[in-house]
Amino acid sequence: MAEIAIKGVAKRFGGFTALHQVDLAIADQEFMVLLGASGCGKTTLLRIVAGLETPSRGEVWIGGRRVDHLPPRDRGIAMVFQNYAVFPHLTVFENIAFGLRMKKLPQADVERRVNRTAELMHIEQLLKRYSGQLSGGQRQRVAVARALAMEPDVILMDEPLSNLDALLRLEMRAELKGVLAASKTTTIYVTHDQVEAMSLADRIAVMHQGRIVQAASPVEVYRNPAARFVGSFIGNPPMNFLPASKAANGSWSVAGLTLPGPKLDRQKIEFAIRPEDVDAGDNGLQATVRVIEPLGPHTLITCDVEGGLFRAVLDSSATVAVGDRLRLAPKPDRIRWFDPETTNAL
């Protein structure tokens, strides 16, 4: 049982605040992905959980035990580093055995656990090699095996796939998901790659400027962004935003279209829609086509709507040409509204 609770954690480096007051609860065996652009504080948060960084404020609990004052070795964690950190002076076998030897396990147990995890990560034929004789992907496997062999309560991963080439990354992603699910270990996984986050996570915590903006399931984060930032960061192409002004109580005028929306006592809010949630029809947002990008299964068009860029994903059978004037009708149940001042969802 290793649920993690991060309570009011803040971190300052000199005058720079890397984390403001972060709260996050992670359930036992959950796969939590911290997602954000570089410099958003996700790695700092991971390192605070690992004990490699001391929080300026706040508490970290793992498995019902407060650990923020404990050194990394007493926290029941194992970590996989971005550059793998495979010890170059030890063989693969000794790398995987390193933590087990520190625990003073009997040799037979060490061998059993090393062989089992090596088999799990498909590196049993590499056990006698040194890290200098391994490819990047193989080093990655050794680093994961070394963490798994510890049978930790929590595995922490810091962008483990970012140094692999695209094809290998895809392969390792699927494999990691399988292996970690089978190990029933609570996982915190840091990445800047939204596709990786979506495909791996039970829950994604989207971070921005030292704060967690939203922590929810991948579909929830995609469909119902809690803030404008989430909508614009997740999804490729990202969400479209248009200004909306009040037409009547509970109805808003967006680019010449009147749409039912939240009943609010204010004049201006923001309308948002995902590019795939519009249909070309007779009635909709007036758009002038600027760029057409056929992508195979569908066609991405970039248009002008009210002087701003607007992207739409249309079926590839649609016949459009640059300069065409289209009517793009948003699917009513997919429309989201944001407060332009707080940028939060309405």
Partner 1 sequence: MSTVAETSAAATTDARKAGDWLLVATALLLCIWVLLPIYLLIINALSSPQDVTGFPKRFFPSFDLGSLAFFINFAGVARALWNSVLVATLTMILSIGFGAPAGYALSRFDFPGKGVFRFLVLMTRAFPLPLLALPLAVMFIRTGLDDTALGLALVHTTLALPFAVLITFSLFSGIPVELEEAAWTLGCTRWQAFRKVILPLALPGIAASAVFAFTISWNEVFAAAVLTIENRTLTAFLLQSLGESPLYLKFAGGAALVVPALIFIFAVRKYLFAMWGIANR
Binding region for partner 1 (CB under 8 A): 50-52, 71-73, 77-79, 81-83, 85, 87-89, 98-99, 102-103, 146, 150, 156
Among 44, 48, 104, 116, CA closest to 77: 48
Q: Which is nearer to partner 1, 72 or 237 (CB)?
A: 72
Residues 91, 118: contact at Cβ < 8 Å?
no
Q: Which is nearer to partner 1, 146 or 311 (CB)?
A: 146
**Residues near 100 by Cβ (< 8 Å), separated by ≥ 6?**
109, 110, 113, 114, 149, 150
163 burial (CB, 10 Å; 0-12 / 13-18 / 19+) is middle
Query: What is the nearest approach in angstroms of partner 1 to the Cβ of residue 303?
Result: 47
CB nearer partner 1, residue 90 or residue 320: 90
Least gap, CB of 87 to partner 1 (angstroms) = 6
Q: Provide the minimum distance between the beta carbon of 91 and partner 1 in the complex, in angstroms, as a whole number.
A: 13
Amino acid at 309: L
> Radius of gyration over alpha carbons of the chain, in Å?
24
Least spacing, CB of residue 89 vs partner 1, in Å: 5
Task: Give the separation between CA 117 and CA 129, rounded to whole angstroms.
Answer: 16
Nearer to partner 1 among residue 130 and residue 337 (C-beta):
130
Smallest distance from the beta carbon of 323 to partner 1, in angstroms? Answer: 43
Among candidate residues 338, 37, 87, 67, the one with its CA nearest the CA of residue 209: 37
| Least distance from partner 1 to the Cβ atom of residue 54, Å | 13
For residue 93, give every residue at least 6 positions away whose Cβ sits within 8 Å of its Cβ, in sequence order, or none. Answer: 114, 118, 127, 128
Q: Does residue 167 contact residue 144 with C-beta atoms inside 8 Å?
A: no
Buried-exposed string 267-279: b where 16+ CB fall within 10 A, e elsewhere: eebbbbbbbbbbe
- Taking the C-alpha atoms of residue 212 and residue 229, their distance in angstroms, rounded to an integer, is 11
Closest separation in Å from C-beta 285 to partner 1: 50
Nearest distance in Å: CB 159, partner 1: 12
Nearer to partner 1, 73 or 331 (CB): 73
Distance CA(87)–CA(84), nearest Å, equals: 9
**Shortest distance in whole angstroms from residue 49 CB to partner 1:** 11
Name which of 89 and 184 has its Cβ closer to partner 1: 89
Residue type, 6: I
User: Which CB atom, from 150 or from 272, has the smaller least distance to partner 1?
Assistant: 150
**69: three-class secondary structure by DSSP:** coil
Nearer to partner 1, 6 or 285 (CB): 6
Q: Which is nearer to partner 1, 149 or 305 (CB)?
A: 149
Which residues are registered as beta bridge partners of 226? Answer: none
